[in-house]
Amino acid sequence: MPPPIVYKTATIVKQWVNRVSAEVVVSAEASLTSTNMTGGTGPDGSIFPPGWGSGTCPTHHNRGHLIGNKLGGPGNEKYNLVTLTAGTNHPFMYEFEDSVGCCVMANPGVSFIYKVECDYDGYSAFPGFSIPGASSNPFCLFPAPAALRLSLIGNGTPVTLGKMTSYLPKPPVDLGPAAVYINLLIFNGGYKLYSGASHTANSCWSVIQDANSPTIKSSASDHAKYLGHI
């Protein structure tokens, strides 16, 4: 049986060039045990989360699970999917979910609360472009989240990153000060290191990252218009 999940939504308004209002998911909370992280599914391609552009150049968007597939999260529930850039979704979200799953499985009989909170405020300016984008990415715009905050609580006690990752098959050697953190903030807007002729030919932002490129400015403006910002 899949884990029970509670979603919270809100209508958020942003004022940039145009007034943009959107209903968005602000948090997802799952009750996890070693026996209920089942029934997860991949993202449904017919669902277009707020802020969605495309999975190809130059946006490289993913339908990112809030409660991950490997944790029993559904891919056919619209509130469980948000627009994430490819690098944000994998490896960052994927690796944290792996730690959560290993921690829960290593503690049978313990009830865990896994929570993912969405931040829609942390946008920054991209030089030469009037619409703020997550991580200064002009192709990751509201109503996509700017960042995600992830946390795990077991039997009422927050689980530190150091404790959580200790259950991985290959635990990190040293997390430094982060070992005592009880949540992880993952910024949206990051890309993987794409390369190749096809990305360059399509003026892919993840490859050229040239603020002065007229093709990039034009593509970014088209995406902003599609989302209603200009």
- Work out the pLDDT band at 157, boundaries 50, 70, 90: very high
Cβ contact 27:118 at 8 Å: yes
pLDDT value at position 134? Answer: 95
Mean pLDDT of 153-174: 95
Q: Given a cut of 80, is residue 18 above it in pLDDT?
A: yes
- Work out the pLDDT band at 24, boundaries 50, 70, 90: very high
pLDDT value at position 5? Answer: 98
Percent of the chain with pLDDT over 90: 80
Distance CA 161, CA 179 (A): 5
- The 3-state DSSP class for residue 160 equals coil
Distance CA 167, CA 152 (A): 14
Distance CA 171, CA 196 (A): 33
Distance CA 168, CA 57 (A): 34
Q: Hey, what domains does the chain have and what are their CATH numbers?
A: 5-226 (3.40.570)
Name the nearest CA neighbour of 169 among 216, 76, 99, 65.
99
- Work out the pLDDT band at 209, boundaries 50, 70, 90: confident
- Work out the pLDDT band at 196, boundaries 50, 70, 90: confident
- Work out the pLDDT band at 156, boundaries 50, 70, 90: very high
- Work out the pLDDT band at 1, boundaries 50, 70, 90: confident
Tell me the backbone φ, ψ of residue 133, rounded to 5 degrees: -125, 150
Distance CA 152, CA 113 (A): 6
Q: Given a cut of 90, is residue 17 above it in pLDDT?
A: no
End-to-end CA distance of the chain: 45
Distance CA 104, CA 97 (A): 11
pLDDT value at position 58? Answer: 93
Cβ contact 89:59 at 8 Å: no
Q: What pTM was estimated for this model as a whole?
A: 0.95
Cβ contact 7:74 at 8 Å: no
C-alpha dist (Å) from residue 142 to 24, 55, 127, 137, 198: 10, 17, 17, 11, 27
pLDDT value at position 213? Answer: 87
pLDDT value at position 158? Answer: 98
Cβ contact 190:147 at 8 Å: no
pLDDT value at position 222? Answer: 94
- The 3-state DSSP class for residue 48 equals coil
Mean pLDDT of 70-91: 97
Name the nearest CA neighbour of 161 among 150, 169, 170, 145.
150
pLDDT digits (tens, 9 = 90+) for 38-72: 999 999 999 999 999 999 999 999 999 999 999 99
